[in-house]
């Protein structure tokens, strides 16, 4: 959908030079900052400039990267701030890559590999988590522009239980991740007073004892929700508007 907002800016290298020809992405986040609602992509001009027009009001993450550097920023468009100017500065970093497969060693396409912990500190739902990538037709992925030392990733794919990796050193490019089939969990979100179903509610499933990120879905028009594939074990379910 179109809106009244505009985000424009310039991509800079770490030494202050304008960076031309880089892919710049803008991703709109749902209110819970856990669900990606939409995304758009452009390329920085010879002067390093970029612009996104007709954006709906809301919160966005902007990113740009090269093989060994990454830039990101958050902006919020509201009635009082319909336009935002952004400086995206590329900071140096390394790459972590590998493949995502199932138990039969078959490649999983469009699996999402998202940074979760950096040196033991959670980075999900920050600008760093916008570095998430999707696997290609061969199940391969590469997450560029990562700061040094260790990272842990949260991996999800349709029909498979989510996976949290062990700590991985920057520079690792042969990570082999195996996803297993998950178990479905379904339910209904209803108003406490009227007991009528409620649509558009964010539902989170989390295994508290494992310390892994929550899996997120939303209730449908009839109030029903579905987690197609969760890991076996006890899950806490929470809802938020």
Q: What angle do CA 5, 11, 119 make, to 5 degrees?
A: 100
Is the whole model's pTM more than 0.75, yes or no? no
Give 163's Cβ-side CA count (13 Å radius). Answer: 20
Percent of the chain clearing pLDDT 70 (strictly above): 91
- What mean pLDDT comes out for the span 88-101? 89
DSSP per-residue letters across 180-199? -B-EEEEEE-B-TTT--B-S
Here the tokens at position 232 are 């076996």
Here the tokens at position 106 are 């078959």
Bridge-partner residues for 101, per DSSP? 107, 178
DSSP per-residue letters across 228-239? EEE-SS--EEEE
- Are 233 and 205 in contact by the 8 Å Cβ rule? The answer is no
177 pLDDT higher than 80: yes
Model pLDDT for residues 137-175, shown as the tens digit of each residue: 999 998 877 877 889 999 999 899 999 999 999 888 899
Phi, psi of 127 (to 5 degrees): -60, -25
b/e code 222-238 from CB counts within 10 Å (16+ = b) = ebebebebbbeeebeee
Percent of the chain clearing pLDDT 90 (strictly above): 50
DSSP per-residue letters across 124-138? TTSGGGGG-EE--TT
pLDDT at 124: 62
pLDDT at 91: 82
pLDDT at 34: 45
CA 117 – CA 153 distance, rounded (Å):
7
- What mean pLDDT comes out for the span 78-95? 88
Give 166's Cβ-side CA count (13 Å radius). Answer: 5
pLDDT at 99: 96
């Amino acid at each position: 959908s179109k809106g009244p907002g505009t985000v424009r800016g310039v991509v800079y290298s770490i030494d202050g030079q304008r960076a031309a020809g880089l892919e710049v992405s803008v991703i709109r986040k749902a209110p819970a900052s856990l669900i990606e609602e939409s995304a758009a992509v452009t390329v920085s001009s010879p002067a390093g400039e970029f612009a996104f027009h007709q954006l709906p009001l809301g919160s966005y993450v902007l990113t740009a990267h090269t093989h060994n550097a990454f830039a990101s920023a958050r902006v919020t468009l509201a009635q009082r701030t319909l336009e935002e100017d952004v400086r995206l500065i590329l900071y140096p970093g390394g790459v972590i890559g590998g493949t995502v497969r199932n138990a039969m060693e078959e490649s999983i396409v469009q699996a999402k590999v998202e940074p979760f912990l950096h040196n033991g500190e959670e980075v999900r739902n920050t600008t760093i988590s916008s570095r998430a990538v999707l696997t290609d037709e061969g199940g391969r992925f590469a997450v560029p522009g990562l700061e040094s030392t260790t990272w842990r990733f949260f991996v999800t794919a349709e029909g498979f239980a989510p996976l949290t990796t062990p700590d991985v050193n920057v520079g690792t490019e042969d990570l082999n991740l195996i996803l297993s089939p998950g178990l479905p969990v379904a339910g209904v979100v209803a108003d406490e007073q009227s007991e009528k179903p409620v649509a558009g509610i964010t539902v989170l499933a989390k295994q508290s004892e494992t310390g892994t990120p929550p899996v997120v879905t939303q209730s449908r028009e009839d109030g029903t929700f579905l987690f197609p594939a969760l890991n076996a074990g006890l899950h806490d379910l929470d809802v938020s508007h």
